[in-house]
Amino acid sequence: MTSPHHTSPLAEELASDVLERFLRYVRIDTQAAYRVARRPSTEKQLDLSKVLVEELRELGLEDVTLTAGSNVFASLPGRAGSPVMGLIAHVDTTPDVLGAGVTPIVHRAWGGETIELPGDSRQALDPKALPELRERVGHDIVTSDGTTLLGADDKAGIAEIMSAVAHLARNPERVRAPIRVAFTVDEEVGRGAEGFDLGEFGADVAYTLDGSGLGELEVETFSATSVRVVIRGLSVHPGTAKGKLVNAVKLAAELVTSLPKDRLSPETTEAREGYVHPHRISGNAEEAIVDFIARDHDDELLEQHVALLCELAEQVGVREPRAHVEIEVRPSYRNMRPFIEQNPRVVDAALEAIRRAGVEPKLAITRGGTDGAVLSALGLPTPNLFTGGQEYHSVREWASVQDMAAAAATIVELAGVWAEET
């Protein structure tokens, strides 16, 4: 009899393997770095990639390769004539929160009380403030100790893919489509699909395992642009600075404070509302750098957000003509929706697989991006499946083991759905 907290017998069967893999993977530090030219931006990301290469070989997958682009590729054969299904997750974690020394904690059969994170007395998960957590009473909840992120983004996705392909490899009698697996680097710094060779990958359709809530299939992302503003001032000894000092730090602070206060920011928007976000600032009196991201589901509105940032940056130079202001604009990715809409079967198949895994599917949008957004624009339709992780990019990140198991079961079912396309 299936546990009341598991969505299906298959999910219950996969749960222990998903958890064991997840706990191992999150302990490997794979934090990426911003504005580093080499790929991967940090060599330590490959520590996990190499582990995955060995595990995939041990499972009996074929063509297991760490590519020149630092992607892990592997194949699991399936029914001849069926579309080749790709499964993608990223090994790196965000640079914004400490990712080294992760100590995962499993709160078994969580009873609904506030979860105290023992590494930092200030950190706790209060179900009154977290409706998704409040709905997981009785689940096994995984957290960090509160001093680091957990790494469910995206090591939950990796564990689910690995558990699913392990199950399929052990059960060759189960009819499945051919599968191509990919684990990328540097997704968190907007470079996950860089160097991704679609011809070498060889999938007809694909899915990223990089979503969140149970049953969600994300078919729409933000479009995103990064904006870097470099302000060059003039540093002078403060004892003799009168009339000479041009303090780039102060000018950078003025730029940030000139942003709208009650709109157009992550903390004041939701759903399809876009934003501009100063996510990194560095420098000194001589030179200061402010990095922004601009995002919106509407490309025309995104252009307006970028134009606003450029105007505000230019005004810094107008107010202080002795300063030199440089603005760099870099497109990051585009909303995947128009590309996904060209292949509705990729959505329908996923919705059916989610149902077969015992979950009510939900079409969703994401206020972010995935490797799938870039790959979809390149011609490989790649919507984003749920993983069961929550509160990403935070020391309060958490994941439900039961939801992760449901995601792994969905992958197995999805391979069966695509096999029916023969």
| Count of CB atoms situated within 10 Å of the CB of 329 | 14
- Concatenate the DSSP letters of all residues of 256-321 into one string: HHTS-SSSSSGGG--TT--EEEEEEEEE-SSEEEEEEEEEESSHHHHHHHHHHHHHHHHHHHHH-T
When computed from its CA atoms, the radius of gyration of the chain, rounded to whole angstroms, is: 23
Active-site choice (153, 154, 187, 216): 187
Contacts of 295 (CB under 8 A, 6+ apart): 222, 223, 224, 225, 274, 275, 277, 302, 305, 367, 368
Helix (H/G/I), strand (E/B), else coil: 368: coil
Active-site choice (12, 29, 55, 92): 92
Is residue 371 flagged as an active site residue?
no
Cα(280)–Cα(275) distance, integer angstroms: 15
How many residues does the structure list for the chain? 422
CB 99 within 8 A of CB 27: no
Cα(395)–Cα(160) distance, integer angstroms: 22
| Count of CB atoms situated within 10 Å of the CB of 267 | 7
Q: Which residue has the tokens 């000194």?
A: 284
C-alpha atoms less than 13 angstroms from C-alpha of 137 in its C-beta half-sphere: 10
Cα(136)–Cα(366) distance, integer angstroms: 22
| Count of CB atoms situated within 10 Å of the CB of 170 | 10
Cα(284)–Cα(288) distance, integer angstroms: 6
Is residue 92 flagged as an active site residue?
yes
Cα(383)–Cα(361) distance, integer angstroms: 14
Q: Which residues are catalytic?
A: 92, 187
